[in-house]
């Protein structure tokens, strides 16, 4: 378990208030240079690994046009499950500590990804909200991003619509009923996208956005890739709702509690359920075993 005593000071009360009010935070140069170097080295290992691949797989999502000589990676899936450096950073290091500080106590890790948004046309991420992809029992989930390279306006930085985390939760299905994963054209017209804040920053800068925030990013038209390492956490007393979207398929370490214990208590319709322990990894005992104290 990570000891976060005192680590709440890694951000100021004003920064926490700003996050709560606006639904996002931008922390310039937040990751120290040694940690940043380690993260970059780990990401380069996956670029090298990709050279042997012709098609996307469970770990790496490749763009069309990817070759051994000129790799084009869209995403590294679940870096936390696939490399110790990312695991340490997200579960024991700065990212987990920042999540605890922002959410005011222990947190539950949900998932991670490294979006490379490659040079010369790396794809846009259309305007969307995250919570519909993985609903939770509250709206505490947030995503912490770390730029592994300097990111300017030309490179498709993360864009957020300040305050939109308090607004409508849009239906992200298409009119034909298929999942769209993005806000529809008519709904987009209700939003003032001139107000979008583009979160550019030097390598090591951090972005934070709430799960209800309208956000997205443009294609990368520069000659430099835009690697953004993202990790999502909720409060420890917030739980992913099973059988909706990505919940349940977010990686083996999903559900890890950081900075304290989970008390397995969830409040629904004003009633607190003192839930059983999490048996998802070791398997559930039978009611007979529990009652006879076999386990
Ligand atoms: O990589 C980006 O610019 C945005 C990422 C994002 O919103 C997502 O992957 O859900």
The pLDDT tens digits for 204-250 are 999 999 999 999 999 999 999 999 999 999 999 999 999 999 998 89
Q: Starting from the edge strand earliest in sequence, which strands make up the sheet with 215-217, in order?
A: 125-128, 215-217, 158-160, 197-199
CATH code for position 157: 2.60.120.620
List the structure tokens of 55: 């098609």
Whether 1 is in a domain gets the answer no
DSSP symbol at 179? B
Indicate whether residue 112 lines ligand 1 (CB < 6 A).
Answer: no
Are residues 265 and 272 in contact, defined by beta-carbon separation less than 8 angstroms?
A: yes
Per-chain mean pLDDT for the chain: 94
pLDDT at 190 over 80: yes
Whether 239 is in a domain gets the answer yes
Q: Tokens 């912490």 sit at which residue? A: 144
Whether 62 is in a domain gets the answer yes
CA dihedral 94, 31, 36, 60 (to 10 degrees): 60
Residue 270 vs residues 266, 267, 273: alpha-carbon distances, Å: 10, 6, 10
Integer Cα distance of 208 and 201 in angstroms: 13
How open is the CA angle 134-139-140, to the nearest 5 degrees?
100
Please indicate whether residue 7 or residue 160 has the higher confidence score (pLDDT). 160
Whether 2 is in a domain gets the answer no
For ligand 1, the distance from its centroid to the CA atom of residue 69, given in whole angstroms, is 26
pLDDT, position 2: 47
Indicate whether residue 143 lines ligand 1 (CB < 6 A).
Answer: no
Integer Cα distance of 76 and 50 in angstroms: 10
DSSP symbol at 201? B
- What confidence tens digit (pLDDT) does each residue in 102-129 have? 999 999 999 999 999 999 988 899 999 9
For ligand 1, the distance from its centroid to the CA atom of residue 214, given in whole angstroms, is 11
What is the number of domains present in the chain?
A: 1
Taking the CB of residue 214, how many other CB atoms lie within 10 A of it? 26
Are residues 150 and 256 in contact, defined by beta-carbon separation less than 8 angstroms?
A: no
Whether 126 is in a domain gets the answer yes
pLDDT at 271 over 80: yes
pLDDT, position 7: 60
Please indicate whether residue 70 or residue 283 has the higher confidence score (pLDDT). 70
Query: Global pTM?
Result: 0.95
Integer Cα distance of 115 and 160 in angstroms: 16
Helical spans, DSSP H, in 23-113:
33-50, 79-82, 84-87, 94-103
For residue 1, name the pLDDT band (cuts at 50, 70, 90).
very low
Mutate which of 76, 126, 130, 230 for ligand 1? The one with the most ligand atoms within 8 Å of its CB, which is 230
How open is the CA angle 203-62-49, to the nearest 5 degrees?
75
Q: Which residues does residue 146 pair with via DSSP β-bridges, in sequence order?
A: 206, 229
In angstroms, how far is CA 54 from the centroid of its own chain?
A: 27
Are residues 231 and 109 in contact, defined by beta-carbon separation less than 8 angstroms?
A: yes
Residue 89 belongs to domain spanning? 7-291
Q: Tokens 């034909």 sit at which residue? A: 176
Q: Classify the phi-psi angles of 104: left when phi > 0, otherwise alpha if psi is within -120 to 50, otherwise beta.
A: left
């Amino acid at each position: 378990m990570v000891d976060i005593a005192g680590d709440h000071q890694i951000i100021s009360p004003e920064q926490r208030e700003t996050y709560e009010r606006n639904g996002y935070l931008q922390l310039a140069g937040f990751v120290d240079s040694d940690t940043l170097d380690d993260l970059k080295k780990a990401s380069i290992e996956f670029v090298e690994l990709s050279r042997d691949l012709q098609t996307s797989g469970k770990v790496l999502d490749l763009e069309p046009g990817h070759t051994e000589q000129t790799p084009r990676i869209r995403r590294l899936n679940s870096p936390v499950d696939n490399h110790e450096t990312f695991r340490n950073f997200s579960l024991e290091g700065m990212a987990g500590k920042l999540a605890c500080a922002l959410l005011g106590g222990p947190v539950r890790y949900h998932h991670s990804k490294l979006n490379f948004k490659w040079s010369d046309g790396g794809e846009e991420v259309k305007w969307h909200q995250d919570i519909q992809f993985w609903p939770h029992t509250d709206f505490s989930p947030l995503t912490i991003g770390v730029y592994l390279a300097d990111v300017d306006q030309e490179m498709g930085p993360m864009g957020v619509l300040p305050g939109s985390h308090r607004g409508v939760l849009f239906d992200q299905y298409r009119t034909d009923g298929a999942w769209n994963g993005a806000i529809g054209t008519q709904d987009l017209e209700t939003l003032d996208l001139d107000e979008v804040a583009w979160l550019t920053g030097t390598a090591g800068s951090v972005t934070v956005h709430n799960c209800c925030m309208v956000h997205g990013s443009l294609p990368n038209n520069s000659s430099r890739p835009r690697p953004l390492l993202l990790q999502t956490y909720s409060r420890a007393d917030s739980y992913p709702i099973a059988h909706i979207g990505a919940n349940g398929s977010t990686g083996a370490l999903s559900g890890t509690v950081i900075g304290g214990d989970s008390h397995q208590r969830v409040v629904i319709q004003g009633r607190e359920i003192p839930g059983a322990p999490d048996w998802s990894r070791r398997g559930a005992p039978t009611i007979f075993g529990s009652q006879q104290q076999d386990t």
